[in-house]
């Protein structure tokens, strides 16, 4: 079973994403903070990371950039989630800091399609 780690400081959004993805057959773990994300990645070993861009304790784009630069984590697919995608985030997408993005508010179909596409690559 493919594993997905969801990181969003909005508990309701993390839980909603978890419900959607569990219903699609994924094993899902949620976090409300990216503070110790590398420890969680080492323990859980997800195939994909759904990461909010604006987390209260860190910038999700910076976390994604750091993970993609590290050989230990670079193969984990990363989808950034945000209510506002600015020019920097779009540059991150084109420079492979992330593998996909989902804009809030999102539809179930958008989440499922984006995740499914990356999980089959």
pLDDT digit string, tens, across residues 59-100 = 888 899 999 999 999 999 999 998 876 666 666 555 678 899
What pLDDT was estimated at residue 21?
99
What pLDDT was estimated at residue 86?
66
Query: What average pLDDT does the chain have?
Result: 91
- pLDDT (mean) for 35-61: 92
Q: Is there a contact between 9 and 35 (Cβ–Cβ < 8 Å)?
A: no
Task: List, in order, residues 6 or more apart from 92 with CB less than 8 Å away.
Answer: 61, 64, 65, 80, 98
Residue 32 — very low, low, confident or very high, per pLDDT cuts 50/70/90?
very high
What pLDDT was estimated at residue 56?
80
85 burial type by CB count under 10 A (0-12 exposed, 13-18 middle, 19+ buried): middle
Residue 36 — very low, low, confident or very high, per pLDDT cuts 50/70/90?
confident
Residue 120 — very low, low, confident or very high, per pLDDT cuts 50/70/90?
very high
Nearest CA to 111 out of 71, 72, 80, 73 is that of 80
Q: Does domain 3-114 have CATH number 1.10.1060.10?
A: no
Alpha-carbon Rg for the chain in angstroms: 13
Q: Is there a contact between 102 and 111 (Cβ–Cβ < 8 Å)?
A: yes
12 pLDDT above the threshold of 80: yes
């Amino acid at each position: 079973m493919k594993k997905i780690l969801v990181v969003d400081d909005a508990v309701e959004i993390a839980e909603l994403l978890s419900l959607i993805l569990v219903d699609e057959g994924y094993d899902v773990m949620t976090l409300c903070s990216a503070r110790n994300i590398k420890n969680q990645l080492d323990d859980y070993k997800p195939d994909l990371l759904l990461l909010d861009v604006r987390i209260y304790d860190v910038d999700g784009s910076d976390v994604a950039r750091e993970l993609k630069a590290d050989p230990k984590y670079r193969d984990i697919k990363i989808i950034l989630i945000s209510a506002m995608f600015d020019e920097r985030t779009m540059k991150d997408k084109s420079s492979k800091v992330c593998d996909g993005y989902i804009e809030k508010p999102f539809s179930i179909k958008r989440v499922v399609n984006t995740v499914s596409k990356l999980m089959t690559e």
